[in-house]
Amino acid sequence: MLAKKKIVPYLFLIIPLVLYLIWVIGPMGYTFYLSLTKWDGLSKPELIQSNPFRNYERLFRDPVFFTSLKNNLKWILSFITIPVVLGLGLAIALNRSIPWAKFFKASFYSPLVLSLVVCGLIWSWMYHPAGGLINSVLRRITGNPELSIGWLSDEKLVMWSIIIVAIWRQAGYVMVLYLAGLQGVDPQLLDASKVDGCNGWNTFRHVILPLLAPVTVIVVVISIIDSLRAFDLVSVMTRGGPFNSSSVLANFMYIEAFNNYKMGYAAAISVILFAISAVFIFIYLWNIMKDEMEY
């Protein structure tokens, strides 16, 4: 009877494990296999007999790959700084009892409700060099009716223009995470810091910020993973142009697979992207498991 009770939990795990193997582990393994082939998506994939790792060698000689990787790094650095600071500042400001607090919370969170495709379309109209809102405002401010900045056509501006859209959307999400973390801060600690003579900055620095450290780790790791998954905004707004100056790894992979029909090469890109993401996913999972073990 005791042996049957021990088996029952494992029986419940069989179906989800089988589904996980079929829908996650299986495709991952097959993608790695495809990265060793020269496959066009139509014919039967076959290993590259002369050198199975030719796709990877070609990848590390491809200037578009390094441009895409550099743009992903720009995205990561922007995401772990600006939205984190903005989200934390908004959370602290709106965590107090101020008028219209709920309205402001909903307003800052509302961009996250919109899909990335919709955000990309809206901001593409705003960035339009002739009739866009941003250039129209700048023409009024500067008094120059001929001012026309190509936000999405200038190689130096395009990547940062897209990142601004992503930051605008991400800041509300970070705010919500920090608001949840602030709910766990003991008010007695804040009162004690005031009794000890701490001003607002010292209370934030020595009390609030250390208590929000676990939330900060989660925010940073999630922001990095979101940065590596960046695709929708680039695809909608520029498709990686002009001249691949706004290309990111996911967009580069998509174009190679479905535009150029180089499925094996695209699979190699996806393997590299997965390897980079896996590092940060491991850090995230390790942090969660460590907290659970301590608890």
pTM for the whole structure: 0.87
Q: Is residue 231 part of a domain?
A: yes
The domain containing residue 111 runs over which residues?
A: 35-294
Q: How many domains does the chain have?
A: 1
- Is the peptide bond between 242 and the residue preceding it cis, with omega within 30 degrees of 0? yes
Q: Is residue 7 part of a domain?
A: no
Structural contact between residues 165 and 119, judged by C-beta atoms closer than 8 angstroms: yes
Q: What is the mean pLDDT of residues 146-175?
A: 92
Q: Is residue 79 part of a domain?
A: yes
Rounded distance between C-alpha atoms, residue 55 and residue 36, angstroms = 7
Q: Is residue 213 part of a domain?
A: yes
Q: Is residue 19 part of a domain?
A: no
Q: What DSSP assignment string belongs to 88-103?
A: HHHHHHHTS--TTHHH
Give the model's pLDDT for residue 2: 52
Q: Which structure tokens are listed for 5? A: 């009770």
CATH code where residue 47 lies: 1.10.3720.10
Residues 6+ apart with CB under 8 A from 261: 40, 41, 42
Q: Is residue 20 part of a domain?
A: no
Q: Is residue 9 part of a domain?
A: no
Rounded distance between C-alpha atoms, residue 87 and residue 174, angstroms = 5
Give the model's pLDDT for residue 14: 87
pLDDT above 90 (res 67): yes
Least confident of 45-49, 72-76, 193-197, 242-246: 193-197
- How crowded is the C-beta side of 134, counted as CA atoms within 13 Å? 16
Rounded distance between C-alpha atoms, residue 259 and residue 191, angstroms = 61
Q: Is residue 201 part of a domain?
A: yes
Structural contact between residues 224 and 279, judged by C-beta atoms closer than 8 angstroms: no
Q: What is the mean pLDDT of residues 153-178?
A: 93
Of residues 263 and 213, more confidently modeled: 263
Closest by CA position to 220, among listed 84, 19, 48: 84
Q: What is the mean pLDDT of the chain?
A: 87
Give the model's pLDDT for residue 102: 86
